[in-house]
Amino acid sequence: MGRETGILASVSHGLGAAISEWSVYLSMVRRIFPLAKAQLGRWEQRAREIPNPELRRQALASIHKKSFHSVGGAVFALMNRPEMNNLVAAIVAIQTISDYLDNLCDRAAFGIPGSGLAGVTQPNDLDTASQAFSCSMKLHEAMICALDPDMPMSDFYSDYPAEDDGGYLEQLVVASRDVLDRLENYSVVKPLVAFFAAMYSEMQSIKHLSPGLRDTLMEQWFSLYSGKEVPDGAGIHKLVSSQGGIALKHLKHAGPSCVFTGFAAKVDHLKWWEFGAAAGSTLGIFSLISYASLKDGLGVSHGAPGYDVGCISSAYFPWVCGLHILLDYFIDQEEDRETGDLNFVSYYDSPGDAIAALNRFTRASLKRARHLPHSWFHRAVIRGLLAMYLSDPKVKTCGLSSYARLLTAQGNAGLLRLMCGVARAFAAI
């Protein structure tokens, strides 16, 4: 009798979790899509008013071509439905900053006439690379400011060859800060959010350097985080010295010890490109923001009242964040090969190795999601990532359909992938 009761309870729990998970997808279509698209429409209209034609072009391109980033990130607003409108506004503003800066830091953007940074073409020109890195990091101060309402704003374009955006970037920053400043527990997560944002900024600023330098510098950058020895003459030291060191150094003084302690051990088993992929995701930031909006309270270690931010951040970084960006690069392989852009998935020895790695990140993400509060929500996010990226039309045109079926089967997201394809066409994302 006891065994039967246990089985029934297990089935009931599993059914309840499945219903909760599918409610996320339905709410995504019914509630989040319209709210996020409305916010994007607002910023598109604002971008059209940018005086500088190059900045206007980059801002509009970032919205037109990358809107699904904002729509997907906005799902975290479902964690707190009474605050959903405000959370969507903040998440869309943050992601729009991210996508806009990604465009500005692209080599094409550095080719603006008179920039002095045009095409970092000398393979061993560390001085020029350092200049470009500093310029990109200055632009990315907008990202840091958007996530820290107390940080004074500066001229983000001071090192960039174009600057007359009519206040566009600053208004995006303010839109985020206005929401975050009112969140119930934002002060608890702010050090970790700042850490993820700074690490993101570093990765983006290295990623856009010359192909002759970026791989070596990215690998050296990973070594700094994973505790490996980096020779004194390594180029990465020249880059990060102007920033006062890497983000991890600042986390040590401001963040919870449960995250800083053993950070190197948590990531040293990764490949450098897997670490770079994880650093390139904003999902860890959005997850922490959503928990900070709740009134239940947040703790910074096991046994503390409320939700454990260390547990939440460790599930997202590197696992969910890494899965997110590896999937993004997985479907962009052909496009990046044609343009010569860095693609993290291309560093695996074979397609089979890439699929094995994506399966490993999927398994690890789902395993860690089981131990998080609102675990059904995080499982929905993980399976949603698989479905969203692997339903992209590029999967079929690039001959990746068989791999996509394997990956979605691993994450039990096959049906969701089919439905997502329909939703994509309906929502035009």
* pLDDT of 118 strictly over 50: no
Q: How many residues does the chain have?
A: 429
| pLDDT tens-digit map of 325-371 | 999 999 999 888 888 888 999 999 999 999 999 999 999 999 999 98
Q: Is 226 exposed, middle or buried (0-12, 13-18, 19+ CB in 10 A)?
A: middle
pLDDT attached to residue 163: 86
Compare 261 and 91 and report the one with higher pLDDT: 91
Least confident of 231-235, 317-321, 325-329: 231-235
Q: Which two tokens stand for residue 113?
A: 């006439």
Q: State percent of the chain over pLDDT 90.
A: 60
Report the alpha-carbon distance of residue 275 to residue 277 in Å, rounded. Answer: 5
Q: Which among 247, 97, 106 is positioned nearest to 168, based on CA atoms?
A: 97
Question: How far is it, in rounded angstroms, from Cα 176 to Cα 44?
Answer: 16
Task: Inform me whether the pLDDT recorded for 10 exceeds 60.
Answer: no
pLDDT at 135 over 70: yes
In this prediction, residue 339 carries a pLDDT of: 81
Q: What is the mean pLDDT of residues 149-170?
A: 94
Taking 60 as the threshold, does the pLDDT of residue 429 lie above it? no
Q: Does 6 score more than 90 pLDDT? A: no
Please give the Cα distance from 253 to 247 (Å, whole number). Answer: 11
Confidence of residue 48 (pLDDT cuts 50, 70, 90): very high
Q: Are strands 307-308 and 298-299 parallel, antiparallel or unpaired?
A: parallel
pLDDT of residue 261: 67
DSSP state letters, 291-349: HHT-SS-EESSTTSSSEEHHHHHHIIIIIIHHHHHHHHHHHTHHHHHHHT---GGGGSS
pLDDT digits (tens, 9 = 90+) for 166-215: 999 999 999 999 999 999 889 989 989 999 999 999 999 999 898 889 99
**Whole-angstrom distance, CA of residue 81 vs CA of residue 87:** 9
Alpha-carbon distances, residue 394 vs 61, 184, 423 (angstroms): 19, 41, 16
Question: Contacts by 246-252 with C-beta closer than 8 Å and gap 24+?
Answer: 246/199, 246/202, 246/221, 247/195, 247/198, 247/199, 247/201, 247/202, 248/195, 248/199, 248/224, 250/194, 250/195, 250/198, 251/191, 251/192, 251/195
What is the overall mean pLDDT for the chain? 86
**pLDDT at 35 exceeding the cut of 70:** yes
Please name the residue that has the structure tokens 């009519």.
Answer: 166
129 vs 285: which has the higher pLDDT: 285
415: number of Cβ within 10 Å: 12
Which pLDDT score, from 0 to 100, does residue 428 have?
A: 57
Q: Are 332 and 364 in contact (CB under 8 A)?
A: no
Average pLDDT score over residue span 380-384: 94
Helix, strand or coil, per DSSP, at residue 76: helix
Query: Quick one: pLDDT band at residue 57, thresholds 50, 70, 90?
Result: very high
| Selected residue with higher pLDDT from 308 and 155 | 155
In this predicted structure, what is the pLDDT of residue 256?
Answer: 58
Q: Would you place residue 15 in the very low, low, confident or very high pLDDT band (cuts 50, 70, 90)?
A: very low
pLDDT score recorded for residue 11: 32
pLDDT at 251: 65
pLDDT band at 420 (very low <50, low <70, confident <90, very high): confident
Mean per-residue pLDDT, 111-119: 42
288 near 307, Cβ under 8 Å?
no
pLDDT at 193: 93
pLDDT at 248: 75
Q: Look at the block and give the residue holding tokens 């690039």.
A: 398
pTM value > 0.75? yes
pLDDT given at position 305: 41
Q: Which of 128, 113, 71, 121 has its CA nearest to residue 96? A: 71
User: In the numeric block, which tokens belong to residue 395?
Assistant: 């999967």
Task: Give the pLDDT confidence score for residue 173 in this predicted structure.
Answer: 98
Q: What pLDDT was estimated at residue 416? A: 86
Model pLDDT, residue 340: 81
Q: Which two tokens stand for residue 413?
A: 């997201």
Residue ranges per domain, the chain?
20-427
